[in-house]
Structure 1
Amino acid sequence: MAYYLSFLILIILSRGSGVQAAASSVSTVSKLSVEKGKSITVPCRYDQRYRQYFKYWCRGDYWNSCSTLAHTNQPKISGTVLISDDNTQTIFSVTMLDLKPEDSGYYWCAVETTGQDLRSYLHLSVTSGSPGLYVEQQLVTGVEGGSVTVHCYYSNIVAKRWLWCKMGIYYAPILGRYSGMLDGTYVTSHQTIDQNKRHILTVTLNRLKMRDTGWYWCSNGDLQMPVHVTVNQPTTTQRTTPESTTTSTSTSTTVIPTVNHVTKTQTATFISEYLDVQTGGSITIPCHYDQKYIHYVKYWCKGFWDFCKYAARTDITMATNTSISDDLIRRVFTVTMTDLTPADSDYYWCAVEINKGPDIRIQRFYLSVTGAPGLYVEQQQVTGVEG
C-alpha cells in the first residue's frame, strides 16, 4: 500500500501544478469503470485533522479548472450527485446516479482548508457495455460473528494480479487460492472463469467483528471497485449460541485440519485454519502426516514461514508453554499450548524436518488469543465407555 500511495502522490503532482506535499492527506481509488445507467459510490479518505472541515467533489482534467458538483455545506448542488461525510471513519463518500458516457472524465476528492485545499483525483469511465471491473453490489451487510462474500468481475480476456484492500490499511495480494489475515480479519478467496470468460474473484470475510465495518476494494490491473461492508450486531433469532454459553471461564477451540502434504518438488497454497482462544486458556492441535515421515522429527513453529521460530520439537524439550507428542501408529503429532496470552497470537505451522531438503509444511494456522472467543467447547477431550 505504501507503494500505491507513493504512486498516487506522483500522479497528483504531475496533474496539479504546485500541489503541496499535504495532498497525500486525501486518498481514494485511481480508476473506475461503470456501465451507463448505473450508479457508483466513491469513498474519499482524509486525515483525522480535517474531521470538521468541509469536503467537496469536483470535475475537471486539471485542478485549476475543477468545477464543484457536490459540497458538504451545500449537499444539493446537483440532483444526480450526493455527498455525505462520516467523520468517525474519516471518510466522505460521493454517489453519482444514472451515469452517462459524457460523465467520463477526471474527478477530485477535496477538503476545503484555510490555505490550499487538499485533494486527490481519479478517472471515471462510463461504458456502453460491460465495465472492465465491477461488483454485483457495492454495499454489503453481515452480522457480527458471521461472514460476507463479495464477487468481483473482470471483463478483460487476460486478468492481471488481483488485490483486495481495506481502505487506509494495506492490501492482500491474491494469487490463486488465498487465506490469511487482513487487519485482524480472516479473509479467504478463490478465482474462477465463467462461461462468458469473465474472471471472477470471490472474497469472503469471516468471523466478522463490528470494527470490520468500512470501505474495501478489489483491484485488477489499474482498475479498482470500492465495496462497503456494514457489520451489524445479531438479533436474538440470529444468535447461533445460547447467551449462557458466553460466560465460561476456561475456553479453547480446536480445528481438525485438512492436510496438505508438500514434497521437495511440489508447491501448494496453504489454507489457514483460524483458532480463537480465550486469554489464559489452552489449545490442542492435531497434525496429520504421511506414513513415509513416521521416523522424521516433527515440530511446531511460530511466525511467517521464512522466519518461523521453533516453539516445540519432538527430538528435544523446550522451555515454552507448548508441548508436542508424536503418535507413530495413527501418524499424527499433537501440539498443546497452555496459559495463552494475547502475545501468543500469530501464525503457526505444523512441519516435518527434512535433513537434506526443504522441510515439509503440513498445515498453517492463525491463533487469536482474545478476551472472549467466538467459538469454544467446555472440554476438548471427552471419554465414554463401549455401548
Structure 2
Amino acid sequence: MWSLQSQLFTLCIALSCVTSAAGLIHVSGYEGREVNVSCGYGEGYESYEKYLCKNDCGNDDVLITTTETKKNKYSIYDDKKKRVFTTTISDLSLKDAGKYWCGVTRNGKDIYTEVKLEVVQDSCCDRSTKVQSHETGSVSISCPYDSKYQNNLKYICRGNQPSTCLQQATITSDRKRNGELRLDDDNESSKFTVTITGLTQKDSGLYLCGVHRSTGLDVFSAVELEVKAQTSLCFTEWCCVKSKQLSGIVGRPFTMLCPYPPQHGDNRKFLCKGDHRNNCTDVVTSQSRFTLQDDVPSSSIWVTITELKAGDAATYWCGSDSQWSVGNYTKIQLSVDAALFHPVVFIVLAVLLILIFALVMVYKYKCYKARGAGVSMNMNKTKAAEAEEVISVSDIYENQDVVACSKQGTSKAQSTCNHYDDAGEDQSVYQNFDITEEIYCNQAYTTANKR
C-alpha cells in the first residue's frame, strides 16, 4: 500500500514537473566531452535547494543537488547574484542524451524547467572536399555556409574533432591574418576562403571549416588538403604557367581576360597583385576600382579596372581558387603608359596650330610683296646708276677729247668743239653738258694761245 502511494506521489511530481515547466532548454555536447546545463530561477529563491534530475524526476532520477558540489560525473554551482545554477556533465556518452529537468525545491510543487540534451560523436564529417597543391605554393580553401550565419564567427582548424576546433582554430574571421594564413569572408556568396601560402608537405591533412553558433553545436564542413612534392622542374617556378603581357593608358578603363578550367565553375575566382603568387594581395576586395565578373559558360574571368593609375603597373595572378596547380591560374604582366592628349586639349592644340599656320602664311605673303617692291626699287636704282655710269664715261671721253684738242692746237680744238656742236645726235645725248664743253673748249683755246 505504501509502495503504491509512493508511486502515485512520484507520478504526481512528474505531472507537476510538466505542468510547471518554465520553458525548454536545448543543450548539445560531443561524446567523450563535457556539457554545461544552465538554468535560471526567480528572485527570492536564492537560498532554496536546486537540483538536476532525469526522465520522470523520481527519487532515483535526481542526479545532483546544490547541497553537494560533485557527484559521480556531475558537478553543480549556484550563482546567486545572477540567479543561475549550472550543472556540468563530464565524459558524455550517447546514453546521456535525453530529457532532463532543472528543479528548485520548495513547499508544495517544485519549480521545473525542461532540458533536452543532444549528444553527438566528436568527429566530422560524412564527406570532405579534396584540394591539392604543391610545395612552396599556395592554396585557397573554400568554406560555404548558410546565409543566416553571415554575421557569425567563422574559423578553421586542423583535425576532425569539432569539440576543440574553435579553441584550436588557426585563424578566425575576427583575426583575418595569422602568419601565412588569410581569411576572406564573402557575405554575398555565403562563402569564406582561407588562403595558405608557403605550403609544405606537413600542411597536408584534414581541415574543418567552422561557423560558431550562440546556441547549439557549431556548423562544420571538412576539407582534405594534399600537398605534393616538387618532383618536376616545372613546379619549381612558373615555367609552365600561362603568361600574358598587357598594357594600358593612365586614366582610361582597362579589361583583362583570365581563363580557368571548366570544372572550377563553382569555385571562388580571384585576382591578386604581387611579384610572387605565394604572397600576392587580393585587389578586388581592397580596391573599388577593380571588379571581377565570372563568365561561367566561357570558363573565363573578366577583370575590369575603371581608371588605370601609374601604380597599377605590376604582376597579377588570376584564376580559380581550388588550387595553385599549373593551368589553374594566369600570370599577367601589366604595363601602364602615360596618358595621351585629352580630346579637349587635342582640339585646342589643333586650333592653335591652324592659327599659327595662318599667321605664317600671312607673314610670308607680306614679305613677298615687300620683297617685290624692293626689287623694283633696286631695278630703278640700278638703271639710274647705269645712266650715271654712262654719263661718267662720256665725261671721261670728253676730257680725253679736250686733251686731244689742246695738243693739236687752236684750229683742231676749235674744229673738235665745232664737231660736237654740229652733231645733232650727239648733242641731243649730251645736251646737258654743252656749257661744260664750252668751258673745256675755251680753256683749251686759251691754253693754245698762250703757247
Query: Same fold, TM exceeding 0.5?
Result: no
Give the structure with the higher percent strand: 1
Give the structure with the higher percent helix: 2
Structure of larger gyration radius: 2
TMscore range, shorter length: 0.3 to 0.5
Greater length-normalized contact order (CA 8 Å, ≥ 6 residues apart): 1
